[in-house]
Amino acid sequence: MSEAKEPARRTPLPDHDLSGRQLGDYKLLRRLGRGAMAEVYLAEQCSLGRQVAIKVLRQELAQDETYVKRFQREARAAASLVHANIVQIHEVGQIDGIYFIAQEYVQGMNLRQWIARYGTPDLRLALVIMCQVAAALAKAAERGIVHRDIKPENIMLTRSGEVKVADFGLARIVSSQEGVDLTQAGMTMGTPLYMSPEQVEGRPLDPRSDLYSLGVTCYHMLAGWPPFAGETALNVAVQHLNKAPEPLENIRTDLPPALCRIVHKMLAKDPNKRHAGARELLRELRQVQLEYVGDEWPEELPGLETLVGEAAVPEVSHLTQRLQAVMASGPSQRSRRLVWGLWAVMIAAACLAGASVAYFGLVERPLLASASRRPLAVPPQANVASQWLYAMEVDTEDAWRAVIEYFDQPQYRLYHVRAKQQLARIYVDKGNDEAAMRIFAEFAALDDSQPELRVWGLAGKCWILTKQKQYEQSMAVFAELWPLRRYLEGNALMSRLLYYAVRENRKKLSPSRAPEEWDEWIASQLEGETTDSPP
């Protein structure tokens, strides 16, 4: 290829900031960070009006044709992993000698940053994180994909409470010839801290290698430091091969022994002594959840706090403000105890208030209007919390419907609301606009006592109408949404959809039908977001 022969003229140096450049359908807005393999940019996908993260391959890696072919092949394989707990890859491409991955834009912080800021989590939150990462690895294993670089930096915690595993498209393609510089001085953090023994020895890998790395990550998360550390990567690697970690129960006496055993099982030197797969790990984590947390586990619901409007439940908003103030104060042991105490109170209040609000707003409507009543290809679980965990793991339409249909009692309305929002996401991903619109319309029809749910429905409805080229109707819905816009602040996903809708509507209608203040407000929501993307 001509560009392979002329890299100096066509491939920019890796430390050059590409912000402002057009890369095919993507406008690179600003650089978010740099990693060992790629630079990360926030970009707008012009055709869809959505924000994405663009990872540009480093120049020296782009010069190796064998490496590039593997990069493209295996990144495309990773793009087939569609799951709620995996950062979605949208496109793998090459333009003007620049090799890139366009992927889902994740807002929040990675687990390493979270630990540094807040310290070790309590049992409930730890289980939420562990279960969601295990669900992602189970999905990857089904496709025969080994991540190879599970570590806190590649586990993203979103503002809505979801956990997403990043860099399947990059970590998987590390060349076996590259290896790791095990003589590097001052090695205290980095990939060698989380490598499996078989990785250290260069042996063939299977999904159990990822479980070992997850075990190291979980040990770090729960203890506050990794099980092994040293002055050089070589020193750390030898410990992965020969040294047993300090028992976790000696460090965290508050944790159930069963959870500590699970972590140490993942850390077994022999892959045959680890869990057979991520699904077995999930079953053991569920058992810990049932025994030590209980049947009702509302914290597992992503974005639970968004279900309660400020006006309806001011005491919850007050607790949220106190929680945020404590979280900003530092990672001291005293602060951590206060954080999780407040968190438990806030969740309990939100669950009661949210369930009540959702009940009165939605009880008179069918759980899934016009939904097929065909039998669900999903096994019933012992309780609604386990059913939610199952749905999170398999992430299919039937699985989310099962949360609603198997547990249709009014006290589970909070779960129903969140399950419907997950269904809408699946329908949008599949291009099933009719089914998505039914859910958006149901939420949009709520009264103003539930503004956050209503504005979510209105935003989705506005976007679908624009996709269907019903521009007048879309603008009418946006006008209805406008007085409630403050309840959408911080919801970057819906802000992006609205940005696309308003921009397309302005192209088709008179500019006066889509005032510029609308576009300016949406743009301010997107620009104002604080974003961390995995390097």
Catalytic machinery residues: 149
- CA atoms of 200 and 237, how far apart (whole Å): 6
- Evaluate whether 268 touches 274 at the Cβ level (below 8 Å): yes
Residues 6+ away with beta carbon under 8 Å from 454: 443, 444, 445, 446, 447, 448, 484, 487
Phi, psi (deg, nearest 5) at residue 108: 145, -140
Residues 6+ away with beta carbon under 8 Å from 205: 146, 148, 196, 198, 199
**What is the end-to-end Cα distance of the chain in Å, rounded?**
29
How would you classify residue 428: left for phi > 0, otherwise alpha for psi between -120 and 50, otherwise beta?
alpha
Nearest Cα residue to 193 out of 155, 244, 230: 230
- Evaluate whether 17 touches 9 at the Cβ level (below 8 Å): no
Angle, CA 381 vertex, CA 378 and CA 385 arms, to 5°: 115
Place of tokens 């006066």: 512
Single-letter code of the amino acid located at 172: R
The tokens for 10 are: 């066509």
Place of tokens 């790791």: 180
Place of tokens 């630990």: 115
The tokens for 321 are: 């403000």
- Evaluate whether 125 touches 74 at the Cβ level (below 8 Å): no
Single-letter code of the amino acid located at 310: E
Nearest Cα residue to 101 out of 177, 171, 196, 178: 171
- CA atoms of 406 and 380, how far apart (whole Å): 7
- Evaluate whether 219 touches 175 at the Cβ level (below 8 Å): no
